[in-house]
Amino acid sequence: MSEGSITSVVPEERWGELNHDDLTRYSRQLLLSEIGIEGQRKLKGAKVLVVGTGGLGAPLALYLAAAGVGTLGLVDFDNVDISNLHRQIIHGTRDVDRPKVASARDRIRALNPLVNVVTYNEPLKSENALDIISEYDVVADGTDNYPTRYLVNDACVLLGKPNVYGSVFQFEGQASVFYAKQGPCYRCLYREPPPPGLVPSCAEGGVLGVLPGVIGMLQANEVIKLLVGGGDTLTGRLLLYDAWRMKFRELKLEKDPECPICGKHPTITKLIDYEQFCGIRHNQDETSVESISATELKRRFDANEPVQVVDLREPHERAYFKFPNAKTIPLGQVIRRKDELDPSIDTVFVCKIGQRSILAVRNLRAAGYQGKLMNLLDGVQGWKNEVDPNVKLI
């Protein structure tokens, strides 16, 4: 067996029996000797959990359903937004404002009614992750945030499940298989998350619509190989993809003997508080960075109280909504343009959801700025929620 190769993770007693509909629908796949009747039976008996039905989860779920995976679990607690549709192809315009798991379920059933779809319209948390994941053979991680990513990894390690990983940002994507029984886990690569706000989300930094399609399909490919058995999986390898330059690169990953969860002497033996671990709780941010609510900022505007607002968003974000009374300084220019700020007046930083502004405050403090600095809590999204519901966001 070559490096990265693996036997099927589907127990033999669950291999499904193929009927006429199966033989017809999957006929082109059955012709492949690496899959054949036996492989298709494994797919039919398999259970795969897709965490997130967004940019990565959309192609993942569709291709796994099309391939004949018997049971697909879908975890997501978000609703479809029109800004999702350029990349989340499992949803349509008529699904806007619907729960994503409901929209995804309907699309999968339309594509392949032979698939059993189980939906979890709730966030994956420490309290429910082990119970949910234990029911599945493989977990496909389509998340876009660090707390859930580490949660999925740790739960998979504790339960002995393979975790098919993908991530995207702007034009770049990554994919791997983290399976502690066979190789490294996610913590072997990234033991701890970056500081909050250092790495912007796709909502803040953008993403090319086809990129998650490419990475999601690579994940689906890895899931199928794990279920059928054989082939070289991405276990122990990190695949890097640059869509703009059309380049693939590969990094070899080694299991870290000091890994806190899958190493020789693990210190993590149960699930933890992942929001606290990743440092993104509002109350923690507020103790280190003072925040102001949108309602309070509006009151200060109306009372003509002195305050200088700095909008950190990029030009394409401001094209949809120009924040009132704001000076525009992109995050990367804040330090060298700090002399444009008046330290005798309170400064409020604004971004889309309140992460870049926290980083700006911390960077300015480190640079020795003496004036009072505040973060607009929840950013422009907070302004939309509390002050002006007509604000358009991208």
56: amino acid identity, one letter:
L
282 vs 331, higher pLDDT: 331
Angle at CA of residue 394, ends 74 and 79, nearest 5° = 25
**Catalytic annotation present for 351:** yes
Q: Percent of the chain having pLDDT more than 90?
A: 74
* DSSP-assigned beta bridge partners for residue 176: 165
379 vs 275, higher pLDDT: 379
What distance lies between CA 294 and its chain's CA centroid? 27
pLDDT tens string 329-384: 988 788 889 999 999 999 999 998 888 888 889 889 888 999 999 999 989 989 99
Are 364 and 336 a contacting pair, CB within 8 Å?
no
Are 274 and 151 a contacting pair, CB within 8 Å?
yes
Catalytic: which of 156, 262, 278, 351?
A: 351
Q: Please report the domains of the chain, with CATH numbers, ordered by start residue.
A: 12-278 (3.40.50.720), 282-386 (3.40.250.10)
- Residue 284 confidence (pLDDT): 43
Quote the tokens at residue 341: 């700020």
**Catalytic annotation present for 262:** no
**In whole angstroms, what is the distance from residue 150 CA to residue 268 CA?**
12
Mean pLDDT rounded to a whole number for the chain: 90
**In whole angstroms, what is the distance from residue 52 CA to residue 144 CA?**
8
Residue 387: Cβ-neighbour burial (10 angstroms; 0-12, 13-18, 19+) = middle
Catalytic: which of 185, 188, 202, 262?
A: 202
pLDDT over 80 at 281, yes or no:
no
Quote the tokens at residue 40: 């298709």
pLDDT over 70 at 4, yes or no:
no
**In whole angstroms, what is the distance from residue 248 CA to residue 92 CA?**
31
SS3 354: coil
* DSSP-assigned beta bridge partners for residue 75: 51, 120
pLDDT over 60 at 296, yes or no:
yes
State the pTM of this model. 0.76
**In whole angstroms, what is the distance from residue 339 CA to residue 327 CA?**
13
- Is residue 5 very low, low, confident or very high in pLDDT (cuts 50, 70, 90)? low
Are 138 and 49 a contacting pair, CB within 8 Å?
yes
**In whole angstroms, what is the distance from residue 254 CA to residue 266 CA?**
16
- Is residue 280 very low, low, confident or very high in pLDDT (cuts 50, 70, 90)? low
pLDDT tens string 318-344: 777 889 889 999 887 888 899 999 999
Under DSSP, the state recorded for 269 is -
**In whole angstroms, what is the distance from residue 343 CA to residue 321 CA?**
27
Are 185 and 153 a contacting pair, CB within 8 Å?
yes
Strands 347-350 and 308-311: what pairing? parallel
Are 186 and 165 a contacting pair, CB within 8 Å?
yes
**In whole angstroms, what is the distance from residue 122 CA to residue 128 CA?**
10
Quote the tokens at residue 292: 């102001």
**In whole angstroms, what is the distance from residue 100 CA to residue 81 CA?**
9
- Is residue 245 very low, low, confident or very high in pLDDT (cuts 50, 70, 90)? very high
